[in-house]
Amino acid sequence: MKNYLYILVMGIVTITIRILPLTLIRKQVKNRFLQSFLYYVPYVTLAVMTFPAIIHATQSKISGIVALVVGTIAAWLGFDLFKVAVSCCGIVLILELFLV
Amino acid sequence: MHAPRLGSHRQVLSQGMRDGFPIGLGYLAVSFSLGITARNAGITPIQGFLMSLLCNASAGEYVGITLIAASASFIEVALATIVTNLRYILMSCAMSQRMDPKLPLHHRILVGYDINDEVFGITIARPGNLDPWYSYGAFATSVPFWATGTALGIVAGNLLPLRLVSAFSVALYGMFLAVIIPPARKDKVVLLLVLMGFAASFVGSLIPFFSQIAEGTRTIILTIVISALAAFIFPRKQEEEVAAE
């Protein structure tokens, strides 16, 4: 039951965050520090969440590390979201046939 | 501004649906992996479906799930949700600049409901003022996949062989990489921040005391500290902001 309350909190906060600027702010954010901070946040937070978590997600640490490398290369080469995700899954599947 | 509005809603709606569909397919794989994480946190398929329908945010939901697993307080969950979804504030600001000032409030609210990396990407790429009907079309063919995939991950995570669960569980991180790596290639500061994020998070998981703090809370602390430092040392030029998006 408590999970529903958690989900309600997450849902309300997420939707409010998305809607407020769109409905209230009609002008560009002017503060340079705030603007830069908001710009950098997504990249930092996603990087922090990816590593080292990715190496604990798989059965073998090695396949997790290789998935990180393969995903980084695929994204660097400009593959779209779906292809990058699939190449990470694929390499883990193949490697763990030998590793696990 | 110059887009004809009358009678074109249906056409714009179907354009949105067409562009949203490949996003939906990508969501299916990624949300499946999110579902596996949710299952490990004791979340039921219905709860997962509801969470994904309300939030539709991979990183935000992921952090929320790790906090739920740790039985964190509601305040912690709310704060973590704000921080991990901060980028939506920026996207919402950017989109507000591209809206017809006369657009009624209910359209602004509905468009705002599902601002996320992918939908923002295809929406902002269109010329002229944003047409809410395009967003509605894109939502219709992407959000259901996200919610269904999450529920499927929770259900089938049980039935799948461990080998496949292990493989699927990296899809989420693959998606994160697909979001952060292309900008890092173009912008050396972003590249530096990505590498610093990796390093700081790794060190944080090892050192005593700090590693005892819940994973989600660690993510918030590291994100705020690194991003604030970067904003202080490498402030961005105003014009760059819009062009980069």
CA distance B4 to B105: 20
Give the list of residues 6+ apart from residue B244 with CB closer than 8 angstroms, or none: A39, B183, B187
CA distance B202 to B26: 28
CA distance readout (Å), B19 to B7, B22, B23, B204: 20, 7, 7, 40
Q: For chain B, which residues make up each domain, given as ranges?
A: 9-244
pLDDT exceeds 90 at position B165 = no
State which residue of chain A sits closest to B111, comparing Cα positions.
A19
**ipTM of the modeled complex:** 0.87
Res. B8 pLDDT band, cuts 50 70 90: confident
CA distance readout (Å), B71 to A39, B127, B151, B208: 31, 46, 21, 22
CA distance A70 to B189: 22
- First and final C-alpha spacing in chain B: 20
State which residue of chain B sits closest to A14, comparing Cα positions.
B55
Query: What's the gap between Cα B49 and its chain centre?
Result: 16
Cross-chain residue pair A17–B82, CB shorter than 8 Å: yes
Residues of chain A with Cβ-Cβ distance to B181 below 8 Å are 71-72, 75-76
Which positions 6-65 of A are in contact with B (Cβ < 8 Å)?
6-7, 9-11, 13-15, 17-23, 25-26, 28-29, 32-54, 57-59, 63-64
pLDDT at B245: 41
Tokens 């961005």 correspond to B236
Q: Residue B75 corresponds to which tokens in the numbers above?
A: 């305040």
pLDDT exceeds 50 at position B241 = no
- What does the pLDDT look like over A54-84, one tens digit per residue? 998 889 999 999 999 999 999 999 998 778 8
Tokens 């979001």 correspond to B179
Closest chain A C-alpha to B85 CA, distance in angstroms: 7
DSSP class of residue B125 equals T
Q: For chain A, which residues make up each domain, given as ranges?
A: 31-99
Portion of chain B with pLDDT greater than 90, in percent: 36
Res. B216 pLDDT band, cuts 50 70 90: low
Res. B7 pLDDT band, cuts 50 70 90: low
**Residue A9: what residue type?**
V
Q: Poorest-confidence range of A36-45, A50-59, B44-53, B89-98?
A: B89-98
pTM score, two decimals? 0.73
- What does the pLDDT look like over B175-202, one tens digit per residue? 889 888 998 999 999 999 999 999 999 9
**Residue B203: what residue type?**
V
Query: Is B85 an interface residue toward A (CB < 8 Å)?
Result: yes
CA distance B94 to B71: 35
Cross-chain residue pair B238–A50, CB shorter than 8 Å: no
Q: Which of B89, B115, B177 to mutate to test the interface with A (most CBs of A within 10 A)?
A: B177
Give the list of residues 6+ apart from residue B231 with CB closer than 8 angstroms, or none: A33, A34, A36, A37, A39, A40
Cross-chain residue pair B223–A79, CB shorter than 8 Å: no
**Cis ω before B101 (30° cut-off from 0):** no
Q: Which of B181, B201, B207, B233 to mutate to test the interface with A (most CBs of A within 10 A)?
A: B181
pLDDT at B133: 94
CA distance A72 to B174: 8
pLDDT exceeds 90 at position A31 = no
